[in-house]
Structures are given as structure tokens and as C-alpha cells.
Structure 1
């Protein structure tokens, strides 16, 4: 067995997502397993190079996880100029991402990045064009497709369980504390439009790839974005005015006529089984999928409710649904996509979760905000390079 090292510059690992999901639960987890077996006698060994603005924090992470203390840098240009670095990964704040990705592409690095890939569609498309011209591999994180609940839902779709799919209804969100009397769960920049914040910019890229991959491309969008909580407190306890949307209510028409309705909110208290749930209704059956679980109801087991507000409900509607079994083990979704991307770097071949897919997410977010501002439904043109 031959071991091949891939050095991966990781920018933004002092943040929650970059640290927990990408560093610890993905690349370090792969190292604990002995690397990634490519099945051809080669094992890929990921070697993180930690990049960021706070050297002391980076060195603390390296020491905590037994990484090379010298593989830490606050100089992105120096890291990108290093010929031993193969991949650049970005989990920074959105406003810093596009410039860093451009520099990494110019340096000839393979690209793997969180989303949104840029603050606007022109920049996102230009990144895809530059990566193609530079002939580097490029991928965008689409973690929710790998969640157990969504994997079970895809199994139902692929097996023809639904018959003709009619509609999709999604509910996502939770109450994010304002920061005055309880610490907020999200950093303040999320609520500043000038820094790339807003739930539309954050979540519509997720909804784009989920809808696109599971049900079909989005062909139109009608959305209402709003700021329910206009005043919040930042990490230092200082009050500020929220300039970005914290809730969005969207209707998406998909190719083939499926209608999707998705509510996204950081100002909603949870009264559902999981933080995100999608109900899919079809002519032959329905299902409700969350992060981990999925329940289904076939048409042969569908009850026959009768509207009568004068008497108490006699049926347990939730109890009439059947759990979709795991039928296997589910690994961490971020780790699974990292494995796929590393195989793509090693072997090439078709890869759909690329910077063009990332541009589609930016496009949908832009059109969603424009739809809200103009109060009308907008077509979603197909993107090409």
C-alpha cells in the first residue's frame, strides 16, 4: 500500500463550522482511520495547513490535535506560493471568500469551499470560469445531501415510492438569541448585509442544491425576506442594528411542475421533530425527512380525514406514518463529501458539486432578494460558462 500525502491549506478553521465539521470530523477523522483508501493500492493522507488571522489560536489547534506546529500561517500568499500545498479550502466569512479563492486559483491550487462562493453572481461565475481555465479541480460543500434523513428520502425517490411528485414543503430554523440576556448562537456578521450576512444568502444556496439534486432545477422563485429582530447585541455585548434579513418565505417552481415552499427563519421557536424538515407529497405516497429521520405514508395506508371542527380529533395522524429504516450506517456528511472530493482530486472524472453549482446557489439567493424587493415572481435562467 502506497501512502500519498495531500497538503490542504484550511482557511477559517478557528470558526465553528471550519473547526468542528471540516477539520475535526472530516480530515482528522480520516487520519484516525489511516487515510482514504482509493482502492488501487494508494492511501491518501490529508495533511492540514492551518491558515488564519490569529496565529496563537491556530497554534493552539495544531497542538491540541498533534499537527505540525510549523504548518500554521497568517500569510495566505506565502501558503499559496508553497508548491507542496495541493488544495485550498475556505471556510472564512463570506465577504473574504471570493478574493481568497481567486488567489488560490491563480496559484494553481485545487479548490474546495464553503458557500456562498461570492457576494454576487458575476463573481461566482467568474470563479467557475477561472477554475476551468486553470484546469484545477474545484468543489463546493453541499453537506445536507449527505444527511441520513435526506439519504433515506432519496432512496424513496429513486425507488419510485412517491409516484408523481407534486410538492415539497420545508421548514427550517430556530430562535437565535438577540445577545442581550443570552449569548447569540451565531456571529454578528450574519445580521449585517454589508458583511455578506442574511438568511437568504446563507440558506438559499442550500435549498438550490437540495431541490436541484433531489427533485429538479429551480425555474422560478417568489420570496419575501424580512428582518423580524431589528436590534441585536454582538460578541462584545455591544448593541447594533440588524441590516440583513433573518427570515425568508419562498416558493420555488421546479422543472416539471413540482412546487416547493420553504420557510427559513432565525426568529422561530422549534415545534417540530428536527431543526429542518421537508414534506414531500406524491400521488402514491408522502414522506417527511429531517436531518436524521424519515417517515413515510403510502396511499394504501392514508387515512380519510373529514373536516369537523365541532368534535375533538379522534385520529393520531402522526402515528399513522412509518419510519424509513436506516438499512446501513451513515457517516458524517461533511466527511463523506470530503472523501468524494479527494477522490476527484486524485482521479479526475465527472464532478457536479463544483463552482458552477456554487454559482447557482448565489444566483438563487440574489433572485430571492430581488423578488422580495420587487414583490414579484422571477424566472431563474440556466447558468452556463
Structure 2
């Protein structure tokens, strides 16, 4: 086997998502398995170059995982000028992403980035155009569709289990502590609009690709965004005004005619099996899918409840659903998409989760915020470059 090294500048790996999912569970996991077998006698060996603002934190990460200290930098421009760097990855603050990606494209680097790819639709489309003109490979993280629960759900869809799909109902979220008497689980910038925060900007791009990939293109959006917790405490335990939305309630009309309703909130206490769940109802059956599990109920096994508030419920509705089996091994969703992108870079294999796909997510978030501000429904035009 021939080993081929691909050097990846990873910006934002000191953050929770960049570190745990992208560095540890994706790139380092690939190294632990001996690299990525390309199937042609070549193994692709990912070499991460840690980039960020806090040198001491980057060096601590490199030391913790046995990485070369020479592959640590706080100088993004110098990293992008390095001809040995093949890919630039960004998982840092949303507000800085667009400019960084433009620099990376101008430097001729392949691009892989967390979503949203930009803070506006115009910016997201410009990135896609610039990347295409530069002839580079580009991708946007769309991890949810690679999760076990949604892969099982897709198996049901592809097998015709639902018949005609009528509706999708999604519940996402958990209580993010305010930071006064318990430390918050998310960085404070997420709750400041001026820093690119907000749950619509964060989660609507996810819902766009989940709906698009599984059920079809989003045709219209009606949304209501809210800031339920107006004051929070930052990493230095100082109070600040939460200027970004921390909850959003969306209705999405799909091109197929199905209706999706998705609630997203960082101010909700969890009373469900997983932090996100989608219920899909169709003429022939229904299913409830989370991150890992999926339960289904076929038309032939659907009970016949009768509304009678005068007597106690005599049946357990949850027990009437059947678990959808794994029927295979499921790897980490972030790692799976990294593997597909690396194969795209190395072998030019087809890959459609690109910057244009990322722009659709930005578009839906932008229209969702506009819908909330103006109290009206908005059509979602199909994007082209």
C-alpha cells in the first residue's frame, strides 16, 4: 500500500464541535484506523495543522494527541500561504467564516466548513461562485443525515414504507444554562446576534438539508423566533444581554406537498428519548427517528384509539411501535462525511454537499428570520449559480 499525506488546516479546533467531532472523532479516528483506504492501493493519511487564536490551547491539544508541535499556528495567512496545505477547514465563529473562506479560496485550497457557510445568502452564493471559478473542491458539513436514526428513517422512505408522506414533526433542543449558577454548555457568542449567534442561523441550515435529502425541497417557510432568556452570563461569569434568538418555531411546506413543523429551542427541558426527534406520518405507516434510534408503526398494526377523557388510558401507545433494526454498523456521522469529502478531493468522486448546498441552508435561515420579523410566509426560491 502507498501512503499519501493530505495536510488539513483545521481552524477552530479548540471549540467543542471542532475538537470533539472533527479533530478527535473524525481526523484522529482516521489516523487510528491507519488512514483512509482509497481502494486503489493508496491509503490517504490526514495530517492536521491546528489553527486558532490561542496558541497555548492549540499546543496543549497537539501534546495531548501526540501531534507535531510544528503543526500549530496562530497565523492563518501564513498557513494559507503554505503550499503543503491541501485543505482548509473552518469550525470557528460564524461571523469570521466568510472572510476566512474567501482567503482560502484565493490561496487555492480545497474548502470544507461547518455551517452556516456565511452570514447572508449573497455571501454564501459568492463563496460558491468563487470556489467554482477557482476549480477547487468544496464541502459543507451536513452531519445529521449520516446519523444512525436518520439512516434508518431513510431506509424506510426508500423502501416505500410510508406510502404518501403527509407530515414531518421535529423537536430539537435542551436547556442551556444561563451561566449564573451553572456553567453554560455553549459559548456565549451563540446568544449575541452581533457575533453571529442565534438558533435560526444555527439550526435552520440543518433542517434545510435534512428535509431536502429525506423528503424533498423546502418550498415555503413560516417562522417565529424568540429570545426567551434575555440575560445570560459569559465565560468570565459576567452578565450580558442575549440579543440573539434562543428558540424558533417553523413550518415548512415541501415540494411534495408534505408539511414539516420543527421546534428548535435552547430553553426547553427534554421529555423525549433523544435531543432531537422527527415523527413522520404517511398513509401506510409512521416512524419516529432520533439521533440513533428509529421506531415504526405500520398501517396494519395501527391501534384504534377513541377519545374519552372520562376514563384512564388503558394502553401504552409507545409499546405499540416496533424498533427498526440496525442491520449494519454505523460510524460517526462527522467522520463518514469527512471520508466522503477526502475521497472527493483525492479521487474526484461525486459529492453534492457543497457550498451551493450550504447556501440553501443560509437562505432558509435568512427567510426564516424575515418571516418572523414580518409575520408572514415566504416562498423559498430554488437556487442556481
The CA deviation at 1:350 is 2.6
What per-residue deviation string (whole Å, max 9, x for no partner) do you get for residues 20-77 of structure 1? 1000100000001000000011100000001111111111111111111101111111
2:108: which partner in 1? Answer: 108
Q: What corresponds to 1:363 in structure 2?
A: 363
Alignment of 1:128-207 (within 5 A): 128-207=128-207
Counterparts in 2 of 1:1-385, with a 5 A limit? 1-385=1-385
Root mean square deviation, CA, Å: 0.5
**Structure 2: how far apart are the matches of 1:239 and 1:63?**
34
How many pairs are equivalent?
385
Q: Take 1:349 and 1:43, find their aligned partners in 2: how far apart are those partners?
A: 16
Corresponding residue SS for 1:85? coil
The unaligned stretches of length 5 or more in structure 2 are: none
The gaps in structure 1 that reach 5 residues or longer are none
> Secondary structure of the equivalent of 2:279?
strand
1:349 CA displacement? 3.7
TM-score, normalised with respect to structure 2: 0.99
Q: TM-score, normalised on structure 1?
A: 0.99
Deviating 4+ runs (over 3 angstroms): none
Partner secondary structure for residue 189 of structure 1:
helix
Distance 1:280 1:348 in 2: 35
State the Cα deviation string for residues 320-362 of structure 1 (Å, max 9, x = none). Answer: 0000000011110000000000000011143210000100000
Residue 19 of structure 1 deviates from its aligned partner by 0.6
Q: Distance in 2 between matches of 1:174 and 1:12?
A: 24
Secondary structure at 2:269 match in 1: coil
Query: What's the secondary structure of 1:136's corresponding residue?
Result: coil
